[in-house]
Chains A and B, each alone.
Chain A
Amino acid sequence: MVRLLLANDYFKVSRKDLDDLRIKPSYEAAEIERGEPFEFSFGGQPVMAYPGETVGTALLAAGIATFRTTRQGGQPRGIFCGIGICFDCLVVVEGRLNQRA
Chain B
Amino acid sequence: MVTPENSKETDIETSIIKVDIAIVGAGPAGLAAAREVSATGATAAVLDSYARPGGQYFKQTPQTFRAKRPGRLHHDYAPAQALFGVAEASPRLTLRTNTTVWTAYGSDNGFSLHCYRPGESSLEVRAKKVILAPGAYDRALPFPGWDLPGVMTAGAIQTLAKSQRVLPGRRIVLSGSGPFLLPVAALLAESGANLAGVFEATRPVVMLRYGSAAWNGRAKLGEGAGYLRVLRRYGVPYRFGRAVVRAEGAGRVERVSVTRLNPDWTIMPGSLETLEADTVGVGYGFTPSTDLSQLFGCEHRYEPTQDASFALHDARQQSTKPGVFVAGEICGIGGSAVALPQGAIAGLAAALDLDPSLSSKSEANSRLARFQAEARQAQAFAGTLNRMFALRPGWQSWATPETIICRCEEVTLGKIQTAINEFDLKNVKAVKLTTRCGMGLCQGRVCGQAVSSFTASLTGRDPAETGSFSNRPIVRPVPLGELVQ
Contact = CB atoms under 8 A, between A and B. Distances in A.
Mostly, the A contact residues are: loop
B410 A30 contact: no
A39 interface: no
Nearest to B277: A8
A56 B374 CA distance: 39
Contact of B160 (A57, A65, A85): A57
Nearest to B167: A21
A21 B153 contact: no
A30 B258 CA distance: 35
B165 A32 contact: yes
Interface stretch (B64-72, B322-330, B389-397, B454-462): B64-72
Contacts of A44: none
Given A4-B197, A31-B67, A77 B165 contact: no
A83 to B, nearest CB: 6
Interface residues of B, number: 66
A26 interface: yes
A52 B62 contact: yes
Given A8-B196, A82-B155, A21 B170 contact: yes
A34 interface: yes
A79 interface: yes
A65 to B, nearest CB: 4
A72 B67 CA distance: 44
Nearest to A74: B410
Nearest to B164: A57
Given A29-B69, A30-B69, A52 B64 contact: yes
Interface string B167-196: 111110000000000000000001110101
Nearest to A1: B273
Given A30-B68, A33-B65, A76-B252, A83 B165 contact: no
Contacts of A54: 164
Interface string B275-286: 110100000000
A70 interface: yes
B64 A5 contact: no
Contacts of B112: none
B237 A4 contact: yes
B410 A75 contact: yes
A10 B152 contact: no
Interface stretch (B301-309, B438-446, B466-474): B438-446
Interface in A35-74: 35, 50-54, 56-57, 60-61, 65-67, 70-73
Contact of B192 (A11, A24, A60): A24
Contacts of A4: 196-197, 237, 258, 273, 275
B73 interface: yes
Interface residues of A, number: 55
A27 B192 contact: yes
B266 interface: no
A3 interface: yes
A28 B72 CA distance: 9
B293 interface: no
Contact of B67 (A3, A32, A65, A85): A32
Contact of A86 (B157, B252, B445): B445
Contacts of A5: 273, 275
Contact of B149 (A27, A33, A78): A78
B65 A87 contact: no
Given A79-B156, A86-B445, A21 B166 contact: yes
Nearest to B165: A23
B76 to A, nearest CB: 14
The 9 closest A-B pairs by CB, nearest first: A82-B156, A52-B62, A78-B149, A52-B64, A31-B68, A87-B441, A65-B149, A29-B72, A27-B192
Interface of B: 49-50, 56, 61-73, 137-138, 140, 147-153, 155-161, 164-171, 190-192, 194, 196-197, 237, 239, 251-252, 258, 273, 275-276, 278, 404, 407-408, 410, 440-442, 445-446, 477
Given A3-B237, A11-B276, A21-B168, 4 more contacts: A23-B161, A26-B192, A32-B67, A82-B156
29 contacts: A1-B273, A7-B276, A18-B170, A22-B167, A23-B192, A26-B192, A27-B190, A29-B190, A30-B69, A30-B73, A32-B66, A34-B65, A35-B64, A52-B61, A53-B164, A65-B169, A75-B404, A77-B149, A78-B252, A79-B156, A80-B407, A81-B137, A81-B153, A81-B155, A83-B56, A83-B159, A85-B442, A85-B446, A98-B441
